[in-house]
Amino acid sequence: MSAVGGDDDQPPLPLPDDRFLNRELSWLQFNSRVLALANDLATPLLERVKFLAIFASNLDEFFMVRVAGLHWRIATGLATFSPDGMSPRDQLEQVSRRTQELVAEHARVLLEDVLPALVKQGIDILRWDEVTDDDTDELHRLFREQVYPVLTPLAVDPAHPFPYISGLSLNLAVILREPGSKRERFARVKVPPLLPRFVKVGATHFVPLEDVIAAHLGQLFPGMEVVQHDTFRVTRNADLEVDEDESEDLIEALERELLRRRFGPPVRLEVEDTMSPHVLDLLIRELNISEGDVYRVTGPLDLSGLWAIHALDRPELKDPLFVPVTQPRLAQADATKRRSMFAVLRDGDIVVHHPYDSFATSVTAFVAEAAADPSVLAIKQTLYRTSGESPIVDALIDAAESGKQVVVVVEIKARFDEVANIRWARALEQAGCHVVYGLVGLKTHCKAALVVRQEPDGLRRYSHIGTGNYNPKTARLYEDIGILTADAEIGADLSDLFNQLTGYSHHADYRRLLVAPQSLRRGVIDRIEREIEHHQAGRPAGIVFKLNSLVDEQVVDALYSASRTGVPVDLLIRGMCVARPGVPGLSESLRARSIVGRFLEHSRILYFTNGSDDECWIGSADMMHRNLDRRVEVLMMVCGDTARGQLRDTLEL
């Protein structure tokens, strides 16, 4: 037990051992809230389909990373206990139990609620035995022309070992028999991943691709009797381990590791609930997976493919079209065409709240204007994730080709975006940009851009710091905050930060920034403890955190300490939250809420009442070990009264 809290007259009381919730189970609760949106009749029908797809893809990544990590700890004998006191094996058992419940509910919502509602709107997802004769003829032709040529049936016998099953691939397990023989044989047919998950027949009829293949198995195994077929899917460990200290070329090392990702050990086997026991036993044995990692699913597997249904042109079944607006101060400057964005920023900071404020006319325009401005001497920027066709990358390339100094810190280890980031890094290098990959052992996750401009009175620095990636596509779907500023101290801080990222600087003292891993955790805890002092002195005190995740035990214990003294603590945590709210004697003044809706809540805002001298911070960091210890993260103090007031209003909403 650790001791935190208390007053001047009494020794601090020990904190209870059971004060933390389990982070994995907390994440599953977040995904259950996504599923709740699919089950909500107030959600437009095709948006319900979208949330079913999001739930499925979320769960895939959870198993590839988080559950895979638990398996790895067990396999390597690392019997470390989670902060809530569970062993890896205990966590796996509870995760499996909760996931089984959610998977069953996921299937129920689809089959009993969403599919019947789609039928009423003339949209059908049909199994093969429900397809009409006319549609059957079309599917026969489609199979012959587009599917059959890319299929590769793989037999399993003494001459053909059990094939490798790639992660997240959909497969048919086929049992065959020679005519006149009782001996059964096994074969595997992989469903081609580059073909549509649901085959469209007519305008609004869809058939799972595996059903189309299954109906034509006789053509794949001529002369054999098809006894039965079953669908299955394997999830594998997809976390990467790159030894940066031993790698002369980080990109080459990462490319080698990406090839290995396909061969990670299996952590989940999904099968349709109609699969026969002897086929399931064969898969469990050949895949070397435990029965606890098997998930029987009613209905089609891999419902992340439901995005194809959501893509239907049925606007009356979707959320109304949302069009971002240009931030008012930027709109005023754009309308006059007489003032540059830099002139507008000299008048004061600008808060942009995406997707409500347009990313294109704020952040993208900031980089593009800097690239085209002959007075701009240098642009420095971090890139963690960006889009396939990135106007920001194009602007950086243009800037380099025009002779400006362009420095780009590309995080090529951004999970599941590694291939795209390697491609961007090479394109930027070829254009003459200085491309670096951050600091050894740390991911560069901060979102920052710095522009250095020659002006009549000398050099001036302009900055953008945000909570979201420089990605125009996700900026229309994710809720994020950004600050555009000409503040000299912020500019000086970013200069120091980029020098640290590109050189051998060990700079740790910043004016307006908290930077992980050096100062961010300590800076946040110091400010929590300052609120305790304000409250005990009778001054106004209060804490509001808006985060994606709150997992770090030191920060949570500091919040418990604040709550025990009576400081109001309001937490808006979209995903994982290990703090237990409302526990007598521990967290009575602590409230925790989660917002899940049309846009993915992604901004991080920390607000401290600070004895009526309010202090507000925004940035890239969640309160998690990885963010605070193994990443370069930035929180920026918001100094302008107007900007701080806007963020306070956002939190109050």
Distance CA 43, CA 37 (A): 7
- Asked if residue 354 lies in contact with residue 480, where contact means CB atoms within 8 angstroms, the answer is yes
The bridge status of strand 615-619 relative to strand 478-485 is: unpaired
- Cα–Cα separations (whole angstroms), residue 604 to 393, 544, 572, 621, 648: 25, 11, 10, 7, 13
Q: For residues 410 and 421, what is the distance between their CA atoms, to the nearest angstrom?
A: 7
Cα-based distances in Å from 118 to 51, 170, 223, 306, 405: 15, 25, 40, 12, 55
Identify the active-site residue in 445, 534, 535, 602. 445
Exposure of 444 by Cβ count < 10 A (0-12 exposed, 13-18 middle, 19+ buried)?
buried
Please give the distance of CA 256 from its chain centroid, rounded to a whole number. 24
Distances (CA, A) of 133 to 146, 376, 647: 20, 67, 59
DSSP 8-state symbol, 9? S
Q: What is the Cα 365 distance to its own chain's centre?
A: 26
* Secondary structure class of 255 (helix, strand, coil): helix
Q: How many CB atoms lie within 10 A of CB 482?
A: 27
Residue pair 493/431 in contact by the 8 Å Cβ criterion: no
Residues ≥6 apart with Cβ < 8 Å to 460 = 342, 346, 452, 453, 486, 488, 491
* Residue 66: closest CA among 234, 235, 304, 239: 239
Judge whether 611 and 534 are in contact, CB under 8 Å.
yes
Q: Are the CB atoms for 446 and 634 separated by under 8 Å?
A: yes
Active site residue 445: yes
Q: How far is CA 146 from CA 88, 128, 137, 187, 305, in A?
A: 45, 18, 14, 21, 19
Tokens, residue 440: 């050894």
Cα–Cα distance for residue pair 469/416, rounded to 1 Å: 14
Residue type present at position 442? L
CB 516 within 8 A of CB 486: no
What CA–CA distance (Å, rounded) separates 195 from 169? 12
Sheet strands side by side (includes 154-156): 154-156, 184-190, 170-177, 225-236, 266-272, 294-297
Three-state secondary structure string covering 130-148? HCCHHHHHHHHHHHHHHHH
Secondary structure of 299-361 as H, E, C letters: CCCCHHHHHHHHCCCCHHHCCCCCCCECCHHHHHHHHHCCCCHHHHHHCCCEEEEECCECCHH
- What tokens were used for 524? 């946040």
| CB-CB contact of 63 with 622 (8 Å) | no
Residues identified as active-site: 445
